[in-house]
Chain A
Amino acid sequence: MKPLNKDLFNMKRLKVSLAMAFWLSVVTFPIMVIKINTINDTVIWRWGNLALIVILGLFGSYIWNYALDRMKERKGESNRLKETLSGLYQRLRSNPKVKKPVLAAVVLVIAAFPFITSMYSTSILTTALIYVVLGLGLNIIIGLGGLLHLGYAAFFAVGAYTYALLYQYFQIDFWIALPLGGLFAFLFGLLVGIPVLRLRGDYLAIVTLAFGEILRIILNNWGPVTGGPDGISRIPRPSFFGIDLKLQGSINLTYYIMVLMVVITIIVVRRLEDSRIGRALEAMKEDEVAAEAMGIDIMKSKLTAFALGSMWAGFAGVVMAAKTTKVTPDSFGLMESVIVLCIVVLGGMGSIPGILLGAFIFKIVMEYFRVFAMYRMLIFGAVLVIMMVFKPDGLIPKIRRKYTVEKEGA
């Protein structure tokens, strides 16, 4: 059979695209074409817009369908380019002559970053790093534990408010608040997890979402303690052995704290994946009945993943509060949870490099494209749809690692 779909021109596809363009123009007709002038009580017909929509819809839909067909055709074949690239990558990686200098260069760039760029860039990068930690933390819950969690921002808030409140009422220093923030988030995770983790899938997602909102609403309304919607401001940036660092210095310090935290998080997540708990979680995700029959305590495993993941949000929250010197309940809404979730899914669930990339793309693109603030979410939604259709495993999919200890039979 002739592979019709590979041809750029295809009658069927054209028909589908025409239908699509027609549908689009009907749907957008009221807002794009009709404009009512309320002063003169006249209707302005913007036919130009209609033409634009039809043309854009036609082309967009045609390209979309063409890409879809191409993807279907290619499903069977192996991707030569991709294989060569990943082979090259593996060879370079295992070659110490290449690996060492590259590693040294990366370390150098990271270390020197605040001195070779502006304060603004450093600050943005720090935010991105905070989101890396959030992504990795949520990944423990979603990627490792297989638990869909839509209220992650609440745990971020627990960390941030821990520092904010402890400072406001007891003048507690950043360095003491940092472990406490993690601890409180961990405990809060246990507290929420015990009732909630009996649920599965969609139900779990809804209940976690609700918990996230409950916390935000409490923070918003408990004015006398939390400052209500205004939050708490003038939280000090991280201190450094009592030395006065000035603004530049403390921004750089925050940056280095985050770099260190990312490194530690990566190490911990790696260890966790290889640990007994990691194995138990993996088994549980694949088949709960079988995992239970192997003597894995399902509830304990889920709770561990949930609370550990929450703990990282707590740490990140403390740094966030110190970095922005102000916390408000609005910074921890549903949107925040969704953004972190998107970072994990976009980057590649379970994949550490994927999440790194996801967080950077997300935060940095968002930041530098402030001009398009109005369209950011629109663009982001479109990107997500495209990703899920063409690369459902994320930008850098997880490579399943083998954890077998035993050697081949002697």
Chain B
Amino acid sequence: MLKFENVSTYYGNIQALKNLTLEIQKGEIVTLIGANGAGKSTTLMTLSGVVPPRSGRIIYKDEDITHCDTDLIVQKGIIQVPEGRHIFPYLSVQENLDLGAYLRNDKQEIKNDLEYVFSLFPRLAERRHQQGGTLSGGEQQMLAISRGLMARPEVLLLDEPSLGLAPILVQQIFDTIRQINKENGTTIFLVEQNANQALKTAHKGYVMETGKIILADTAENLLTNDEVISAYLGGA
């Protein structure tokens, strides 16, 4: 459904993505793991049209979206939850979620989706009138994911959703990601540092190093791959 074909992205003279090629099937959870600065966030930013690539193509549903503007890509159902919980600090939880549905007009459906995200994260329901900026880090991450869901994504891009969360919450977030994928058939592209959890959650995985894909396999195989174990799973 979504394909990168030889995509190269630059920041000025620095090449951040080098001939990136990857593919995501509908209904899959695909994870992209790699060290700091490998280019994972850049991959998502390129896909979202924030940092357009210098060469290569991005194909979504047989359509070339390489040079679409961000708002158009969001309209097509590719929704990113950016790294580092970019929530609106002075808006309430509810208002944050409403903005997630900014491009939608189906009031009744929006209401249903609101109830749905509240069922996923009951903590948010309790705090719906609290200012976003006063939520705890974990709650902000829940809010960021929920706000992404409010846009009714076909493809949900998650950039390090477990960043800075307590182990128990990390577990809960990954469970919820699986749940979202199962219940709605949402395709999920998951960028993670927590390789172990990410690979247990995903169907397929890509390993990235300095802008290049060095490994691509099913998540199961990657979990037992020696290279991955020594470099990302901290095992011997």
Smallest CB gap from A290: residue in B: B86
Task: Judge if A402 is at the interface, Cβ distance under 8 Å.
Answer: yes
Task: Judge if B99 is at the interface, Cβ distance under 8 Å.
Answer: yes
Contact between B48 and A293, CB atoms less than 8 A apart: yes
Contact between A294 and B100, CB atoms less than 8 A apart: yes
Smallest CB gap from B87: residue in A: A290
Choose among B69, B87, B94, B99 the residue with the greatest number of A CB atoms under 10 Å from its CB: B99
Smallest CB gap from B115: residue in A: A409
**How many A-B contacts at CB < 8 Å in the complex?**
78
Contact between B151 and A295, CB atoms less than 8 A apart: yes
Contact between B98 and A404, CB atoms less than 8 A apart: yes
| Interface residue from A290, A291, A295, A402 paired with B92 (Cβ < 8 Å) | A402
Binary interface encoding of chain A residues 235-279 relative to chain B, with 1 for a CB under 8 A from any of its CBs, else 0: 000000000000000000000000000000000000000001001
Choose among A286, A290, A400, A409 the residue with the greatest number of B CB atoms under 10 Å from its CB: A290
Min Cβ gap A238→B in Å is 42
Min Cβ gap B26→A in Å is 21
Min Cβ gap B100→A in Å is 6
Please list 20 pairs of residues, one from A and one from B, whose beta carbons are closer than 8 Å in the complex, sorted by A's number. A276-B102, A279-B99, A279-B102, A283-B91, A283-B99, A286-B88, A286-B89, A286-B90, A286-B91, A290-B144, A292-B50, A292-B70, A293-B80, A293-B86, A294-B74, A297-B71, A403-B95, A403-B98, A404-B98, A406-B94
Task: Judge if A138 is at the interface, Cβ distance under 8 Å.
Answer: no
Min Cβ gap A252→B in Å is 44
Task: Judge if A405 is at the interface, Cβ distance under 8 Å.
Answer: yes
- Interface bin, chain A: 20 to 34
Q: Known contacts A292-B50, A293-B80; is A405 also within 8 Å of B107 by CB?
A: yes
Instruction: Please indicate the chain B residues that have their CB under 8 angstroms from the CB of A291 in the complex.
Output: 88, 99
Binary interface encoding of chain A residues 49-63 relative to chain B, with 1 for a CB under 8 A from any of its CBs, else 0: 000000000000000
Instruction: Please indicate the chain B residues that have their CB under 8 angstroms from the CB of A293 in the complex.
Output: 48, 70, 74, 79-82, 86, 148
Min Cβ gap B116→A in Å is 11
Q: Tell me, in angstroms, the Cα distance from A400 to B92 when the chains sit together.
A: 11
Min Cβ gap A286→B in Å is 4
Q: Within B93-120, which residues are at the interface with A (CB < 8 Å)? A: 94-95, 98-100, 102-103, 107, 110-111, 114-115, 118
Instruction: Please indicate the chain B residues that have their CB under 8 angstroms from the CB of A292 in the complex.
Output: 50, 70-71
Q: Tell me, in angstroms, the Cα distance from A243 to B182 when the chains sit together.
A: 76
Contact between A402 and B95, CB atoms less than 8 A apart: yes
Task: Judge if B75 is at the interface, Cβ distance under 8 Å.
Answer: yes
Contact between B118 and A409, CB atoms less than 8 A apart: yes
